[in-house]
Amino acid sequence: MFNLSNEQEMLVSSLEELAEREFADDAFEWNGEVPWDNIATLAEHGFLGINFPMEYGGGGMTEFDAMLSVEAVGRVCPDTAEYLFTQQMVGPREIEMFGTEADKERYLPPMIEGEKDSAVAVAISEPEAGSDVGAMNTRAEEDGDDLIVNGEKIWVSNVPHSAAAVTWVKFPEGLGSLIIDFDAEGIEVAQHYTNMAEHTQTQFYMNDVRVPKENVLTRGKEGFKQQLKALNWERMGSVTFANSMARCALDKAIEYAGQREQFDQPIGDFQGIEWKLADMAKELEASRALAYRAAIDAHNRGEAPDRLQTSLAKLYSSEMVEKVVTEALQIHGANGYQQGHPLEYLYRLARGRRLAAGTDEIQKTQIADALKKDGVPSLL
- C-beta of 293 vs 353, nearer to ligand FAD: 353
- C-beta of 104 vs 153, nearer to ligand FAD: 153
Site map 243..262 versus ligand FAD, x via CB under 6 A: --------------------
Task: Tell me the closest approach of the beta carbon of residue 202 to ligand FAD, in angstroms.
Answer: 9
Contacting ligand FAD (CB under 6 A), which of 18, 77, 124, 242?
124
The reply to whether 120 sits near ligand FAD by the rule CB under 6 A is no
CA distance linking residue 134 with residue 174, whole number of Å: 9
Contacting ligand FAD (CB under 6 A), which of 44, 361, 369, 374?
361
CA distance linking residue 283 with residue 250, whole number of Å: 11
The reply to whether 308 sits near ligand FAD by the rule CB under 6 A is no
Task: Tell me the closest approach of the beta carbon of residue 282 to ligand FAD, in angstroms.
Answer: 26
Neighbours of 194 (CB within 10 A): 10
The reply to whether 352 sits near ligand FAD by the rule CB under 6 A is yes
- C-beta of 326 vs 365, nearer to ligand FAD: 365
The reply to whether 48 sits near ligand FAD by the rule CB under 6 A is no
Task: Tell me the closest approach of the beta carbon of residue 363 to ligand FAD, in angstroms.
Answer: 9
Contacting ligand FAD (CB under 6 A), which of 38, 69, 157, 162?
157
The reply to whether 117 sits near ligand FAD by the rule CB under 6 A is no
Site map 193..232 versus ligand FAD, x via CB under 6 A: --x-----x-------------------------------
Task: Tell me the closest approach of the beta carbon of residue 287 to ligand FAD, in angstroms.
Answer: 18
SS (H, E, C) the chain: CCCCCHHHHHHHHHHHHHHHHHCCCCCCCCCCCCCHHHHHHHHHCCCCCCCCCHHHCCCCCCHHHHHHHHHHHHCCCHHHHHHHHHHHHCHHHHHHHHCCHHHHHHHHHHHHCCCCCCEEEEECCECCECCCHHHCCCEEEEECCEEEEEEEEEEEECHHHEEEEEEEEEECCEEEEEEEECCCCCEEEEEEEECCCCCEEEEEEEEEEEEEHHHEEECHHHHHHHHHHHHHHHHHHHHHHHHHHHHHHHHHHHHHHHHCEECCEEHHHCHHHHHHHHHHHHHHHHHHHHHHHHHHHHHHHCCCCCHHHHHHHHHHHHHHHHHHHHHHHHHCHHHHCCCCCHHHHHHHHHHHHHCCCCCHHHHHHHHHHHHHHHCCCCCC
The reply to whether 238 sits near ligand FAD by the rule CB under 6 A is no
Nearest residue to ligand FAD by CB is 130
Total chain residues near ligand FAD (CB under 6 A): 19
Q: Which stretch binds ligand FAD (CB under 6 A): 7-15, 149-157, 249-257, 299-307?
A: 149-157
The reply to whether 122 sits near ligand FAD by the rule CB under 6 A is yes
The reply to whether 130 sits near ligand FAD by the rule CB under 6 A is yes
Binding site for ligand FAD (CB under 6 A): 121-125, 130-131, 155-157, 195, 201, 352, 355-356, 359, 361-362, 365
